Amino acid sequence: MRVGIVGAGWIAEKAAITLNGLDNCECYAIGSRSKQKAEEFARQWNIPKAYGSYQELIADKDVDLVYIATPHSHHYDVTKQALLADKPCLVEKAFMANLREAKEIVDLARQRRVFLAEAVWTRYQPIVATVRNLISSGRIGNPRLVTATLGYSMGNKPRIMLPELCGGALLDLGVYALNFVRMFFPQPILSIDCNCVKSNTGMDITNAMTLILDNVAGDKLLCNLQSSASCVGDNIGVIAGTEGNLIIDNINNPQTVTVNGPDRTYIETIKVPKQITGYEYEFLACREALLAGKLEVEEMPLDETLYIMDMMDGLRRKMGVHYPMD
């Protein structure tokens, strides 16, 4: 599978490292608004093709999958161009700026029958199935509480601070906390609330979210989630049940799962297999889906992408965080 990367930032670098480490995928092309930047990126990561515009990359008939790694604010335009050219797309999280954009893009992909997926890399990792099995097998009893924190000290990066770039912690980091809940507990959300500390540009620099879900056993499940672009978090997720708990180290790229029994008695620690970067699973899932003629991936269905975009729209309204494209 020949992958063309749109955008030449640090996420694109991580993707290039990943693709260069896979036998059945090729980092084939890089597209940037700067021809010089594209050529420098291509030299650094041994990429055959370098384009000075996104449109040129999309037009390359040898690109099998377009990986869109621009800021959130640019996802809509680039993805729409690619879909209109019938190019399969893997779009970085957050998928779009808002639900309106997301619905339009998903509808377009479905109308044209073009493959489309969101790159929430955590969703594709094998450890997700491990945690699901631990929960469903009753290892921790009946889940009652989920906590998750994700925080990085990101300074005054424009993509965090500027409304026109869809800034704030929610779309960049909080999306992982929401996915942490949804990928293990997909049942309906009964209530959701939030609060935040804003930057001087009006973006949610640190936020807290509280969700209450219907539990599979008929009880309620409370979820307390925090994300911050202004401090270093512990990045730990805890799923607590009536008979024990699971502690997941690094919720966006889990490294270990610690299983504790009653009275917090240590039982075992499960480590993830050696990774290239952790991004490999999303590219392999796309390759498998494309080879099978599928239009989306099982790991992150498009309806789930829309559900989470809807949640984030509601959270932003509650926090009073607005983007020009709203």
For domain 2-120+279-306, which CATH number applies: 3.30.2230.10, 1.10.540.10, 3.40.50.720, 3.40.50.10420?
Answer: 3.40.50.720
pLDDT tens by residue, 67-120: 999 999 999 999 999 999 999 999 999 999 999 999 999 999 999 999 999 999
pLDDT tens by residue, 238-251: 999 999 999 999 99
CA dihedral defined by 117, 97, 237, 239, rounded to 10 degrees?
-70
Domain residue spans in the chain? Answer: 2-120+279-306, 127-272
**What's the distance, CA 131 to chain centroid?**
18
Give how far Cα 325 sits from Cα of 19, 72, 213, 221, 312, Å.
33, 11, 30, 34, 14
Per-residue pLDDT of the chain (326 residues; tens, 9 = 90+): 999 999 999 999 999 999 999 999 999 999 999 999 999 999 999 999 999 999 999 999 999 999 999 999 999 999 999 999 999 999 999 999 999 999 999 999 999 999 999 999 999 999 999 999 999 999 999 999 999 999 999 988 999 999 999 999 999 999 999 999 999 999 989 999 999 999 999 999 999 999 999 886 678 999 999 999 999 999 999 999 999 999 999 999 999 999 999 999 999 999 999 999 999 999 999 999 999 999 999 999 999 999 999 999 999 999 999 999 99
Q: Please tell me whether the overall predicted TM-score, pTM, comes out greater than 0.85 for this model.
A: yes
Angle between the N-to-C axes of helices 10-20 and 35-45, in degrees from 0 to 180, rounded to the nearest 10: 40
Rounded CA-CA distance 299/246 in Å is 21
Contact criterion met (CB below 8 Å) for 125 and 254:
yes
Report long-range pairs for 46-55 (Cβ below 8 Å, ≥24 apart). 46/20, 47/5, 47/16, 49/4, 54/6, 54/78, 54/81, 55/81
CA dihedral defined by 241, 245, 249, 251, rounded to 10 degrees?
-10
CATH number given to 127-272: 3.30.360.10
Rounded CA-CA distance 91/83 in Å is 12
Rounded CA-CA distance 179/312 in Å is 11
CB atoms within 10 A of CB 117: 28
Backbone angles phi, psi at 303, to 5 degrees: -65, -35
Rounded CA-CA distance 318/193 in Å is 8
